[in-house]
Structures are given as structure tokens and as C-alpha cells.
Structure 1
Amino acid sequence: MKKRLEEFEYIRNGTMDVFAFLNYANGKIYAECHGDHKKATFLEVFRNHVSNIHTIEPLHYVMDNLSTHNCYAFCQLVAELSGIDCPPEKELNKQAKRVEWLNSDTKRIVIHFTPFHGSWLNLIEIWFGIMGAKVLNESFCSPESFKKAFDSYVDEWNSLLAHPFRWSYDGKGLHEKTVKRFTKMVLSKGEQLELSFISKSLSLMVNIFENYFEKVSSSTWQHLIDAVSLRYESISK
């Protein structure tokens, strides 16, 4: 196939948000396309997905830390679909409390959250990579044309291509790579990084230092220290 050349400027014909759920046991996908990623839309899609599962068995979901995924309205929906009463909002008035409640296994629906900046651990990301290579390799004249192509691919996937995904990565070298990645970001984009991102990343570095120190080489730790010191000096000046 001849590679297509594109200008860096392009005409945006619209946008679509894709909501997708992967059944890890058989690899099949439930997906919906919408024009936004608002809270109400997410709640509607989640309700639709649960209603398509005709079983009383517990349901476990893996999600990232998007605020919509742990808001009180979502707690209410999970409680409703689990057939239980939702705790009062004053008892779930903090994110940590809502996350803890959503993650509890005392109800039918249990929500598991990936670590911050660890959404790649969700198996659905593998499927998104496959879908992107098959569907997003061409231009679409409208959101509707994309939706048609996307829905067609999902149907093809579920009927012909679906299969369970197996983890092959054993985690070897992960801690070293994580520290190196943060060091590189501090050096190249230090002044552009948001404070919330820096705070969470430093918390992660502290966790690795305290619990997995020996899994990271001394030279890598030193490079991180030098990078943070250099960036701090440039900011203070």
C-alpha cells in the first residue's frame, strides 16, 4: 500500500467520542459512539452495557481515574444497578471515599481503577491500538461516516476476530523505565508540566524509592536527582 502524504494542517469535520468495554474472557467488544464525553453520556452508556449482560453474576470493570468514573452520580448508578441503596452523598463527599466504595466487593458491580498514569494497563488499550490501525488510517467526511466505519469494524471484530488477550509482559525493568521516563520529562518539559502532574509523579517516585529501590540502578536515581535539582534551580532563578 502506498503511504499517503498529509499536510500538518487539516480540516476537522467533527469529533466523536468512543466508549468501549472489553470482555476479557472472550475478547468481544461493546462500544458506542457519541458526540461528547459528558458525565450524563458516560452514565447512559454504562447503563446500556450493564443492561446487555443477562446474568446475576458479579461484574468487574477496570477504568482509569477520569473524574467522571468516580463521581457521586456514578456511585448512585452503580448502587441502582447492583440493587442496593447508595450511601448518602455526605458519606462519599471525597474522591478517595467514592473510589473505596466503588472498589468494594460488597455489591454486584465492582470498579477497579488503574494507577495514575497507568491507563495503559487496561487491556482495552490493546484493542484501541488494533482498531486505530484498521479504522483510523483514512479520513472521514463527517462524524456519521466515522461511526459507520467504526460500528462495521466492531461487528467484524465480534463475529470473526475476537479473542482473549494474554499478558506477556512480566514487569521486568518497569520501575527503571518509569524513573527514566519521568527524568526525561522533567528535563525536556519541566516548565510546561502542570503542578498536579508533578505532584502525582513525585508521589510515584517516592513510592518506588521506598518500596522498589533495588529495582532501579543507582545511576538512574542519580540522573533523576540531578534533573530535579537542575529544574528547581532554573525555576527559583
Structure 2
Amino acid sequence: MVKPHLKEQWCLPDGPSGEFVARMEDVIEVYHRPADPKRPLVCIDESSKQLVSEVREPLPTAPGAPARYDYEYKREGTANLFMISEPLAGWRQVTVTDRRTAKDFAEVLRWLVEERHPGADKLVLVTDNLNTHDPGCLYEAFEPDRARRIAAKLEWHYTPKHGSWLNVAECELAALSGQCLDRRIGSAARLRQVVTAWVKERNERKVGVNWRFTTADARVKLRRLYPAPQKC
């Protein structure tokens, strides 16, 4: 299970921030809601991957010797990975795209609403503050009626600035990066093969999330971020 813990490397504001703690408490509250199939919890994040191919054929592994790679390589551009995580269901999906434009993000939302969860009343959506992450992206990609229908199915919850650690999808991206992207991958097609295999294995095991950090914890461990109330 992915278990978030407070760590020194967490990016936090330099001082008290009402905006930060308000959004933090909102997302924490969402994570502690009971599972509801009519209102599935969906977390989305994205990351880029540098595509790199080999210039020389690596030497394969042999008894007592690991595979050997030449220091030279060829840059093949970059690819974007959209991570879709449903932590309460132990399910995730990774979509590889050439870019991460508003239209690309809108297509991810459309797929979630129209194909993944067509019978849901609402999708409880957790994302960060990237400028493409708002209902406006839907109107850039679809006709107004369709955009409005999709937007009406989304309940948005934003992580605060300096608070991407509050997005479970980022935890999943960290696992993906450490478990299968720490190698040279030369094409988007090969990248899709790698992440598809990772997703399949992880979904079969229904790897979920045990989110233990509560609002009460935040008010103690992060109390320096809470503004002091003004006395009347």
C-alpha cells in the first residue's frame, strides 16, 4: 500500500497560509470519505519521460555479471504520462500522450465520465493547480453541450500550491518511476508497453492506498502553517 508520511523533502509554504491549509484540509477530508460507487474518487497527475535510445547494443546479463550499457545514447524527444488513480478501488491507468495540453487533459476527463464511469452521479476529482486543470479545458476540446455535460459530472478538489504530495496520483507516479521507468526507453510505443505491463500487474493485485494523515494530524504537525486568528 502507498502510505503517505511527513518527510523533510515535502514542499511546504515558508509561513502561514490560509489558502494552503484550506485546500489541504479539503483534500484530506475527501480521502476519508467512505467508498461510494456512485461518487468514485479519482486522482489525476501527469509527468514527462525523456525518451532515450541506445547507440550501441547493450551486453546482456551473464552469470555473475549484470547487463552493461554504453554511456552514449540518443535523445528521442519526450512523452507525457497521465496517471489516473482510484485509490479506494486499488485501480490505476496510465495514458501516454505526445503532449499535455488542455485538449489532452480534456480527453482524459471525457474517457473517465463517458466510458469508465458512465453511471456515476459525480466523479470526485483531485488534481493539482496546473493551468489546464479546470472545466475550461473541456470547452477547448468539445462542443459546448458535451463540455457542459462532462463538467456537470465532475466535483473538483485542488491540492494547494506546494502541496502536490496530497495527490495520491503523484504517489503512484513515484512508484511507476522507481519500478519501471528508471531505464532507457527509446520510443512512445515501447513506453506504452512498459507502463501497460506495470499497470496490469498492479491492478491485478489491487494495490490500494492507506491514507492515514488526518486533519487533526495536520493541525498538530503543520500548525506553523495555520494563520493565527485575529482577536475581535
TM-score, structure 2 length as denominator?
0.57
Give the greater-gyration-radius structure (CA).
1
Counting only pairs closer than 5 Å after superposition, residues 40-79 of structure 1 correspond to structure 2 as 40-50=103-113, 51-70=115-134, 72-74=136-138
Q: 1:73 to 1:127 in 2, by over 3 A?
A: closer
Residues 159-209 of structure 1: CA deviation (Å, up to 9, x unaligned): 22x232112343343355x7xxxxxxxxxxxxxxxxxxxxxxxxxxxxx44
Q: Which residue is 2:14 aligned to? A: none
Q: Which residue is 1:173 aligned to? A: 221
Q: Which residue is 1:21 aligned to? A: 84
Q: 1:165 to 1:211 in 2, by over 3 A?
A: farther
Q: Is the 8 A contact 1:82 1:109 kept in 2?
A: no
Match of 2:180 among 123, 127, 135: 135
Q: Is the 8 A contact 1:22 1:123 kept in 2?
A: yes
1:34 Cα deviation after fit: 0.4
1:149 Cα deviation after fit: 0.5
C-alpha RMSD of matched pairs (Å) = 3.3
Match of 1:159 among 204, 208, 218: 204
Q: 1:30 to 1:151 in 2, by over 3 A?
A: same
- Structure richer in helix, relative to its length: 1
1:10 Cα deviation after fit: 5.5
Q: Structure 1: how far apart are the matches of 2:84 and 2:145?
A: 20
- Structure richer in strand, relative to its length: 2
2:146 alignment partner, SS class: helix
Q: Which residue is 1:185 aligned to? A: none
TM-score, structure 1 length as denominator?
0.56
Q: Structure 1: how far apart are the matches of 2:128 and 2:165?
A: 9
Q: 1:129 to 1:3 in 2, by over 3 A?
A: farther
Query: Are positions 1:108 and 2:153 aligned together?
Result: yes
Q: Which residue is 2:93 aligned to? A: 30
Q: Structure 2: how far apart are the matches of 1:10 and 1:141?
A: 10
In the alignment, structure 2 segments of 5+ residues that lack a partner are 1-64
Q: Percent identity, aligned pairs only?
A: 25
Q: Which residue is 1:95 aligned to? A: none
Q: 1:75 to 1:116 in 2, by over 3 A?
A: farther
